[in-house]
Amino acid sequence: MIDSTRTIINWNDSPDIPFDRSINPYRGCEHGCIYCFARPSHTYLGFSAGLDFERRILIKPEAAKLLRAELSKKNYRCGVMAMGTNTDPYQPLEKQQQLTRQILTLLAEFKHPVSIVTKSAMVERDIDILAPMAEQGLAQVLVSVTTLSNQISRTLEPRAAAPQRRLQTIRRLHEAGIPVGVMVAPIIPVLTDTEMENILTAARDAGAETAGYVLLRLPLEVSPLFEEWLQHHYPLKAAHVMSIVRQSREGKTNQAEFHARMRGSGLFADMIRQRFRLTSKRLGLNQCNLEMNTDLFQVPGQAEQLNLF
């Protein structure tokens, strides 16, 4: 299905995320992660947050063309472009459509920095673009790892890369000289929270230099979908999982407030925060902030045009 949007850059002023602009070449995501906070956005289009989100994918075939026009505007000011903030830019459909590759090719041409979040090994396809960008401080990749258990991952994230394959992707990106980190996201109480230290260790050993996490949040239609999944696959743990989710979200399954929406609140959330901080410190993660380079940005042909004057 075609998304005929006339703009491609999404702007935000949220104080709890490290970017103010992003690009999502797809709406909906084939990976089918049952916890995905982006599912409710599909209802705005008249589709369901369940199977429609996974099967009725909208593509933006004019993405690169629209991006060129927006980056070429006289009032555009360069900043890190985020990809993978809503749906995965490397979901299976990308193999055919190559919209993400087109966007990266354009960003490289403009010398525009980009930060990618993905749980797909397909990002390795674009090492030929990302590695030269990384040499100039223009690219970084964060690989999302929710669990190291294939059994959990198969039903939780049915069409995403297997956990060990994601660790292999971290290694290959690192070997290519591309700054790479791990996102332990989401951390699911009872089901995956005990794996956090092992995930961080495995990612560090594979080459990750930075790490982050997000505590499970279940907005709107996502909550009943996730609870149904829990009852089907982990009926003996379901009540315990949801009890701690609510304890960490002020009695609800989601918090919309800035900062709290990512980390939660209460005793369990505080324990996760401390464990993450101590483990990251012990492993040497997040020891330095990667500064993306915005000084090289140049509209192609602009310098040549100025030289004519």
**Considering the domain boundaries, does residue 264 fall inside one?**
yes
**Considering the domain boundaries, does residue 93 fall inside one?**
yes
User: Of the given ranges (36-40, 93-97, 226-230, 303-307), which has the lowest mean pLDDT?
Assistant: 303-307
Q: Give the structural domain span for 224.
A: 9-285
Compute φ and ψ for 174, nearest 5 degrees: -60, -45
State the pLDDT confidence band at 308, using cuts at 50, 70 and 90.
very low
Higher pLDDT, 301 or 84: 84
pLDDT surpassing 90 at residue 180: yes
User: Exposed, middle or buried: residue 188 (CB in 10 Å: 0-12, 13-18, 19+)?
Assistant: buried
**Considering the domain boundaries, does residue 106 fall inside one?**
yes
Task: State the total domains in the chain.
Answer: 1
pLDDT at 306: 47
pLDDT at 192: 98
% of the chain at pLDDT higher than 70:
98
pLDDT surpassing 80 at residue 303: no
pLDDT surpassing 60 at residue 242: yes
State the pLDDT confidence band at 291, using cuts at 50, 70 and 90.
confident
**Considering the domain boundaries, does residue 200 fall inside one?**
yes
**Considering the domain boundaries, does residue 306 fall inside one?**
no
Mean model confidence pLDDT for the chain: 95
Query: Would the pTM count as exceeding 0.85?
Result: yes
pLDDT surpassing 90 at residue 4: no
User: Exposed, middle or buried: residue 101 (CB in 10 Å: 0-12, 13-18, 19+)?
Assistant: buried
**Considering the domain boundaries, does residue 172 fall inside one?**
yes
pLDDT at 309: 44
**Considering the domain boundaries, does residue 305 fall inside one?**
no
pLDDT surpassing 80 at residue 15: yes
% of the chain at pLDDT higher than 90:
89
Name the packing angle between helices 99-110 and 63-71 (round to 10°): 20
State the pLDDT confidence band at 71, using cuts at 50, 70 and 90.
very high
* Ramachandran class of 147: left when φ > 0, alpha when ψ lies in -120 to 50, beta otherwise: beta
Per-residue pLDDT averaged across 89-102, rounded? 97
**Considering the domain boundaries, does residue 304 fall inside one?**
no
Per-residue pLDDT averaged across 31-48, rounded? 94
Which CATH number characterizes residue 147's domain?
Answer: 3.80.30.30
- Distance separating alpha carbons of residues 242 and 218, to the nearest angstrom: 10
pLDDT at 44: 86
